[in-house]
Chains A and B, each alone.
Chain A
């Protein structure tokens, strides 16, 4: 449109500079720190270049931290477990979210609005508090255990906290809305006539679902699954609050390296590898319509 090109750049340059400085450059800093060695200085890492006044004169960085990650199975198990938890968690969200999205999409417009609101509402409340609410349910003296023992069903409390089950519950309560919304927008576009045609032609409801509804909502399934999977991989709060001490997830491992062990170079290389794992799903997400609300 009619913006003169100089005026255009008045609009483009400020955000470009902000994001360049506070989003792009930081990754190069992380890369640099990941190639350095820990040191008892402030900040606690060595330089990777030797400097001759303003110009770098030599390179002394190395891939020692990456070699260390490779050699210690703790990190491999953290990555593998994060990917597993995120994948299974996304699938559980899909199983729970699909019927909700389906019911919302098929409801009349008044009910639909209320049902959608009920999905969006928890999304606006803090995920930390929702995860916290689960502790009140699952802890040994929490709601479930005290109810069960009140009715005499159990004698000793069930171990619900610090289990995979608790972590999956955390993923569901945190990310379920992100699964439902893209599923809903895919299912909403689905033409009722197609479903009617299928049943007119004698298909059972289940067959209609498998052969018509499900294939036509595949874009929503992909977008929703990626929106749950990607943040779940790097999740810190859920494993920290609901998982056990042996529950390895890479977000928690990075946190521990940084805050407890104060090994910034190793934490940085953990971050770089995590990014490498996530680049492909992120690219996928950009190509689906997932980000559009």
Chain B
């Protein structure tokens, strides 16, 4: 009865509308042939053409993809180590510290993270001469740091879900620990690691604030370039770019969801308890 109260349904519909209507309007306007955002002058794909010939945006996109790839990759390596240590090692020196340092980057205000890393890089440069100036390396390091925190949460969650007795059985049969990790644990937590990589990649690709602090003149990421354009108002090119990004993300998320649903059905059977 109260399950499907029309008022509640209407409120929920309103909430979804708030999330989607601005994006839908942006997508529609990306196909507007007029340069003026207000005037609808018919359907056109010319802004997509302009976008392809915009060298500055293309270069920034390439930088962002490179940064996101490396940040996410470093992120899953260290993040998996953190997640594994926190979920599997019962007690060790520095556990509290590791736990705290691996969750804090998630909730830290971006302006603080950005400022603190920039000041660190500058102090390090004057002390040991590395990193020399700001560029790709510093952005990758900054992004990898928050990426590993997110991956650690995802991996730790997956590890605490799965049956430790599988690992114990292998140990009883005489398998050594690194072997067990690479042949049993890693394949089982692989979906979580992949999800963590994708999450890290997305977060790095979207980041404006931290990158603004730690990037150098030649390493402006896509959000930095978008932000500098958007500050001056709505431009049809950015509408087109945003539409492409939204489309890629939507296809990716829906595909991942479909794959996850398909693989979930057989998995349920072997998880007794």
Contact = CB atoms under 8 A, between A and B. Distances in A.
Interface of A: 1-5, 7-9, 11-12, 14-16, 18-27, 29-30, 33, 43, 96-97, 99-100, 102-104, 106, 113, 117-122, 124-130, 132-137, 139, 141-143, 146, 169, 172-173, 176-177, 195, 199, 205, 208-209, 230-231, 233-237, 240-241, 251, 254-255, 258-259, 264, 267-268, 271, 274-275, 278, 282, 285-286, 291-293
Interface in B122-147: 122-123, 126, 141-142, 144-145
Nearest to A254: B111
Contact of A12 (B25, B79, B89, B257): B89
A64 to B, nearest CB: 18
19 contacts: A1-B171, A3-B177, A4-B177, A5-B92, A18-B144, A19-B102, A22-B142, A23-B104, A96-B18, A102-B12, A117-B253, A124-B252, A128-B227, A135-B233, A141-B36, A205-B2, A234-B111, A237-B209, A293-B154
A19 B98 contact: yes
Contacts of B117: 22, 26
Contacts of B188: none
Interface string B27-71: 001000000111000000000000000000000000000000000
A195 B257 CA distance: 31
A99 B81 CA distance: 39
A117 B145 contact: no
B176 to A, nearest CB: 9
Query: 7 smallest A-B Cβ distances: which pairs?
Result: A234-B109, A26-B116, A99-B11, A133-B22, A205-B2, A126-B206, A103-B12
B197 interface: no
A102 B8 contact: yes
Contacts of B242: 126, 129, 132-133
A172 B142 CA distance: 27
A97 to B, nearest CB: 7
B249 A124 contact: yes
Contacts of B23: 122, 125, 130, 133
A29 B119 contact: yes
Q: What is the interface of chain B mostly: helix, strand, loop, or mixed? A: helix
**Residues of B in contact with A, size category:** 35 or more
Contacts of A117: 253-254, 257
A136 B81 contact: no
A255 B118 CA distance: 13
Given A4-B177, A121-B250, A268-B119, 5 more contacts: A1-B167, A12-B85, A22-B145, A118-B16, A271-B111
B206 A127 contact: yes
A142 B142 contact: no
Contacts of B21: 137
B262 interface: no
Contact of A136 (B3, B110, B116, B239): B239
A15 B102 contact: yes
B38 to A, nearest CB: 4
Contact of B26 (A99, A133, A285): A133
Given A117-B257, A134-B22, A97 B112 contact: no
Contact of B112 (A102, A126, A275): A275
Most chain B Cβ neighbours within 10 Å, of A133, A199, A291: A133
Contacts of B200: none
Nearest to A232: B109
A136 B105 CA distance: 32
